[in-house]
Each structure stands twice: as structure tokens, then as C-alpha cells.
Amino acid sequence: MRAVQFSEYGPAGVVHVTEAEEPHAGPGTVRIAVRASGLSAGEAHIRSGGLRDVVPVTFPYRTGFDAAGVVDEVGDGVTGVGAGDEVFGMTAAAARGANADHAVLVAWAPKPAAWSWEEAGGAAGSVETATRVLDRLAVGAGHTVLVQGAAGGVGTIAVQFAVARGAAVIGTAREHNHDFLRSLGAEPTTYGPGLVERVRALAPGGVDAVFDCAGGALPDLIAVAGDPARVVTIAPDLTAATLGVHMSHGAQVDDAAAGIGAADPPAVHGLGIAVELAGQGRLRVPVAAAFPLTEAAAAHELSESRHARGKIVLVN
């Protein structure tokens, strides 16, 4: 089968498609014939070498964490799903390999009928991340949340999940994305100098939690929240720990390395919530671009531009 991988650190061009041995479903897992899969911004950071001191990599490194497709193998002990079912879900964090013709999922849910394959293929990772961070921040009805980087793959889902919980959401993005954020239920504002003052003007009663999807502004985000414990970042910002901010991630890391910490438990229950919200017409998965699997390197280039609105996906 075809699979996307890289065999050295470097720019997007080191990413390539190769022939690989097919994986098979083991106990508690299912295998899918992949129709679409998500590009992980975190893996782009790993590929660049920027995290080489904290995230151990064995080359070749197979990419992809979330995918959607048709079940073609069911492992021992699995119930409620069978061959031919359409699902979306996630691979094991240590295994990855979703950017391929076949992938083994350790968590999955039925593909919502309202979603295209592209939307479903890019959904699971963002859904799990958004759920994990919002749970840690205990976001609920009546709260005000700032989502920094609200127009990206995770940010767009975080906005909608927070709104579904009954929270008021302020989202940062470039001005050309402001109407888009309003359509998701967020009050938009811009990045950069003056952020603290702009947010205070929009939320004079204060902000209860900050979900940082973008990185690079933690001191301002702490000032907005009033307490670093009310800020969680998913950006690979190695200053987070020194500032008292939790960095939430699912990577297999060197626990002795400073600044990143151990992985958080995955919030796979978010997949079921996503199915429910999608069925109610309250959750969409904005797709920034869809590339053929063979153009994975171009997809990585777009990810690194930081100009993608929504999720970047690869289609089979």
C-alpha cells in the first residue's frame, strides 16, 4: 500500500510517498480503507527538526493521526461495528500512519452523514484536542473563553465545542477571517500588540479560560486570563512551563526533557460528542485544502505558511 513518511529532518520536501506493508487490526482495533486523512501541524514541527530534543523519532517516520474510511477488518473484542461501516477516528499516538491507503484505528465513531470524506478525514484529531483542552479548562455554560488562533484546524472545532457548552467565545484571527469566525459563533479580534486591551473591551467581566492554538503570545494570554493556570497551549512553546502554563499534547516525548512534559490522556469521548453535534447541524469541519495523498509535501508547505483556514487533508 501507499504511505506517507519522512526519513530525515528537513523542509516539506523530505516528505514522500512510499510502498509499505499493510497494517492489520489487532484486539480492540479496526482497520479502514482510508478515504481521507488529516495533516498534523504537530508532525510538521517534528519533521522540521524543531522538536528533535524532546520528541524521539525513529526513521522512517510514518505520518498521520486521524482518518476516515470504510472498515475492512475488525479485531478481536470489537463490537458495534463491522466491515463496510463508514467511520472516522484516530490511530495509536505511537504508531501514527493514518496518511496511507489503510490505517488501524484505536478510537472511532460513525461518520456523520452530513460530512464529506474530506471533513471526516480531518475531524478526529481536532475534535480530540479541543475536547481534551476544554475539559482541562473546565469550560462550561456562562464562561467566557478566548481561543487564540481560532481559524485553524483545532481552533475552528474548539470554538464550536465551546459554544455548544454554552460559553461565550472570543477568537483571534486575521481580519479576513473575522466574518468566518462570526459564522462559527465567536466574537473575533486580531492578534498582536494591544490584544489584552482588545479582549478586555470585548469581555469587561473578564475571561475564564484561554485556549492557545497559535503560540508566541503567552505573556499576553496570561494577562488576559489573570492566572497561568487558566491558560492551556497546544503550540510547541518551550517557555510554557517556565511561565506556569500547561502544554497539552499527545506526543511520545522524552520525559526528562524540560518544557514539554508528559502526554495528556486522550479525550476520545469527544468523537461521540462530535457525531451528536454534527447530527444537530451544530458542528462543521472547515477544510482549508484537500491534496491527493501523493502531494503530501505540498500539504506540509501550506501548513507551514500558517495561512490555512481550517484543516488540511489528504485524499486517497
Task: Say yes or no: 64 and 117 in one domain.
Answer: yes
pLDDT in tens, 230-289: 999 999 888 899 999 999 988 766 554 545 677 889 999 999 999 999 999 999 999 999
Mean pLDDT of the chain: 94
Q: What is the pLDDT of residue 74?
A: 98
For residue 91, the domain's CATH number is 3.90.180.10
Q: Compute the average pLDDT of residues 144-172.
A: 97
Task: Say yes or no: 21 and 118 in one domain.
Answer: yes
Domain-embedded: residue 298: yes
Task: Work out the number of other CB atoms within 10 angstroms of the CB of residue 27.
Answer: 8
pLDDT at 310 over 80: yes
CA separation for the pair 1, 19 (Å, rounded): 5
Q: Is the peptide bond before 60 cis (omega within 30 degrees of 0)?
A: yes
CA separation for the pair 313, 68 (Å, rounded): 11
Comparing CA positions, the residue from 274, 316, 312 lying closest to residue 38 is 312
CA separation for the pair 195, 306 (Å, rounded): 19
Domain-embedded: residue 175: yes
Which DSSP symbol is given to 167?
Answer: -
Task: Say yes or no: 23 and 97 in one domain.
Answer: yes
CA separation for the pair 67, 82 (Å, rounded): 17
Helix (H, G, I), strand (E, B) or coil at 152: strand
Task: Say yes or no: 243 and 162 in one domain.
Answer: yes
Band of residue 50 on the pLDDT scale cut at 50, 70, 90: confident
Task: Say yes or no: 94 and 33 in one domain.
Answer: yes
- The CA distances from residue 114 to 278, 279, 285, in Å, are 7, 7, 10
Task: Say yes or no: 7 and 118 in one domain.
Answer: yes
Task: Say yes or no: 170 and 77 in one domain.
Answer: no
CA separation for the pair 175, 224 (Å, rounded): 20
Domain-embedded: residue 265: no
> pTM of the full predicted structure?
0.95
Comparing CA positions, the residue from 158, 187, 190 lying closest to residue 174 is 190
Domain-embedded: residue 276: no
Domain-embedded: residue 274: no
Task: Say yes or no: 221 and 206 in one domain.
Answer: yes
Domain, as residue range, for 73: 2-123+285-315
Q: Domain total for the chain?
A: 2
Task: Say yes or no: 21 and 59 in one domain.
Answer: yes
Task: Say yes or no: 100 and 113 in one domain.
Answer: yes
Domain-embedded: residue 304: yes
Task: Say yes or no: 10 and 116 in one domain.
Answer: yes
Task: Say yes or no: 72 and 105 in one domain.
Answer: yes
Residue 257 near residue 53 (C-beta atoms within 8 A): yes
Q: Which one of 225, 247, 269 terminates a domain?
A: 247
pLDDT in tens, 104-124: 999 999 999 999 999 999 999
For residue 187, the domain's CATH number is 3.40.50.720
Q: What is the pLDDT of residue 256?
A: 46
Residue 198 near residue 223 (C-beta atoms within 8 A): no
pLDDT at 192 over 50: yes
Domain-embedded: residue 27: yes
Domain-embedded: residue 263: no
